Every structure is written in structure tokens, then in C-alpha cells.
Amino acid sequence: MLLTLDTVLLFVSDISKMKQFYHEVFGLSILEEIPGEWVLLSAGTVKIGLHKIGEGYTSITVHTSIETNTKLIFETAENIESLHAMFNAKNITVQNITSFDQYPYRLFMGNDPEGNVFQVMQKK
């Protein structure tokens, strides 16, 4: 069986803040939206869905540390130093650009407004 990934869904506390982050910072286009409940963003061949977390979970404190099981990885053909500088200019904390010997990418990581890890990578 061959499956392809269509959509990654994140349950979030603040739809507006998360939509703004991924739309304005990452430049993802909005495909559909139910204000305050749902936003679907285009991230190349995969979509990212932001869904308002259910009432049963709203009392849970938003997890804002690097210790999360969610990581969104974005590949870019743009200059990674310029993107890194843009994130810093927008006061988004990101780690230093790094690479590994046998890995064909340079990369940096950060956290979105609700603590999910994102990684931006560029081929060497």
C-alpha cells in the first residue's frame, strides 16, 4: 500500500495567532477558513490544518518548551542566512544555523507561538 501525506493537523488554542504566524512569517497561503475554528494553509504539496482545540482541553496550559512531539520541517531554496535574519528581525527566537557531516542540509529550528518545533532547511 502506498499512502501520501495530504494534511498535517494541529490542535491549537489561538487560531488567529497561529494563522498569522504561518501565513505572515512562512508565507503560507490560506486555502479555507472558518474564523476562530479552522484554517487550512498550503505548504507546498502538504496542507497544514489549524483546528481550535476542544473545550475539554482548554484548561490545559499551552506547552511552550522545546519538549514537544510535533516538528514541522520546511525546505527552502532561498538563502538560509537571510531567512534566519528575518526570523530574528521579527523577534522569533531561533537556534543558530547548523549542519552535520553526512547530512546534505543546513538548518535552524525554532518554536511557533504554541510551542511546536519548526525546522527550516536548505540543501548545501
| 73 and 34 share one domain | no
Per-residue pLDDT at 68: 66
| 21 and 72 share one domain | no
> 124 Cβ partners below 8 Å, 6+ apart?
99, 104, 105, 106
Q: What is the 3-state secondary structure (H, E, C) of 82-102?
A: HHHHHHHHCCCCECCCEECCC
Residue 100 lies in a domain: yes
Per-residue pLDDT at 4: 84
Q: Number of folded domains in the chain?
A: 2
| 79 and 123 share one domain | yes
- pLDDT lower than 70: segments of the chain: 55-68
Residue 74 φ then ψ, to 5°? -115, 130
Are the C-beta atoms of 118 and 101 separated by less than 8 Å? Answer: no
Domain span at residue 26 reads: 1-54
| 49 and 79 share one domain | no
Per-residue pLDDT at 118: 95
Residue 30 φ then ψ, to 5°? -90, 120
Per-residue pLDDT at 28: 97
| Residue 19 one-letter amino acid | K
Cα separation, 54 vs 86, in Å, equals: 33
Residue 74 lies in a domain: yes
